[in-house]
Amino acid sequence: MIRLLIADDHPVVRAGLRAMFEAEDDIDVVGEASTGRDAVDAAARLAPDVVLMDLQFGPGMQGVEATRSIRSGDHPSRVLILTNYGTDSDILDAVEAGASGYLLKDADPQHLVGGVRAAAAGKSALAPEVASRLMNQMANPTTRLTAREAEVLSRVADGQSNRDIGRALFLSEATVKSHLVHIFTKLGVASRTAAVARARETGAIR
């Protein structure tokens, strides 16, 4: 039996996933967690084979940090990311944190079940579109936005000025401008509007 822990902050999502996986003869859902911190604690307590981990929780520990914590333990469970989000930064951060796979919530149920089985067997499980973008980023590492650059550009997309962004992120306006210059260079654009459009098109920001 594959021992599975489900970590998601939406009760309806957890209930749906539990019902789906409990219909499988070889999967036993041993627990649920509604926060990243709860997921880490439950993984240590229950020792599941696989943790099905959301990326975005409420305030506090997020999925990537929880994944890194679980994977650094003495008897680490495999972690399989299941999320609505699929930006390049999200994908690479999760993989670098030690995730065995990265699936999207709109996947076919059998793909999710297959992903859990693959992770339990020590194999990787990536949604096709995620695998394609991951390979592209590995082939062109200089085009990847850093986490800070993605955060700055996301705020630009929300209509914030350089001054607003600086205040929110505790940066000087000059530093914000410097980030934008690097972003424009990486994306091959010359304006804020074009940067946002290109970043959304390529999945660099949500």
Angle (CA) 39-54-80 rounded to 5° is 85
Indicate the residue among 138, 171, 190 that finishes a domain: 138
Strand partners for 101: 80, 125
Residues 189 and 95 in one domain: no
Decide: helix, strand or coil at residue 116.
helix
Where residue 187 sits, what CATH number does that domain have? 1.10.10.10
Domain match, 93 and 12 both: yes
pLDDT of res. 163: 93
Both 106 and 169 in one domain: the answer is: no
pLDDT single digits (tens) 188-205: 888 889 889 888 887 778
Q: Looking at the structure, do residues 114 and 50 belong to the same domain, yes or no?
A: yes
Is there a single domain that holds both residue 31 and residue 66?
A: yes
Note whether 117 and 158 are same-domain residues: no
Same domain, 81 and 162: no
Model confidence at 25: pLDDT above 70: yes
Mean pLDDT for all residues in the chain: 88
Which H/E stretch holds residue 2? strand 2-7
What's the number of domains the chain is made of?
2
- Give the DSSP H or E segment for 92: helix 88-96
Q: Closest by alpha carbon to 156, among 182, 191, 202, 185? A: 191
16 has pLDDT over 60: yes
**Whether residue 88 has pLDDT greater than 90:** no
Q: Quick one: pLDDT at residue 46? A: 96
Clarify whether residues 48 and 116 are in a common domain.
yes
Say whether both 197 and 100 belong to one domain. no
Length of the chain, please?
Answer: 206
Say whether pLDDT at 132 is over 70.
Answer: no
Both 44 and 134 in one domain: the answer is yes
**Residue that wins the pLDDT comparison between 181 and 3:** 3
- The pLDDT confidence band at residue 130, using thresholds 50, 70 and 90, is confident
pLDDT given for residue 136 in this prediction = 62
Closest CA to 187 of 162, 138, 156, 153: 153
Domain boundary among 138, 163, 191: 138
Give the H/E segment covering residue 112: helix 109-120
CATH number of the domain to which 47 belongs? 3.40.50.2300
The strand pair at 101-104 and 78-83 is best described as parallel
**Residues spanned by the domain of 43:** 2-138
For residues 108 and 173, membership in a common domain is answered with: no
Percent of the chain with pLDDT over 90: 53
- Averaging pLDDT over each range in 46-50, 97-101, 137-141, which range is the top one? 46-50
Q: Cα separation of 180 and 132, whole Å?
A: 27
Q: Which of 122, 138, 154 is the last residue in one of the domains? A: 138
Residues 111 and 178 in one domain: no
What is the secondary structure of 34-94 as a DSSP string? SSHHHHHHHHHHH--SEEEE-S--SSS--HHHHHHHHHTSSSPPEEEEEES---HHHHHHH
The yes-or-no verdict on residue 53 having pLDDT over 80 is: yes
Mean pLDDT: which of 39-53, 56-70, 162-176 is highest?
39-53
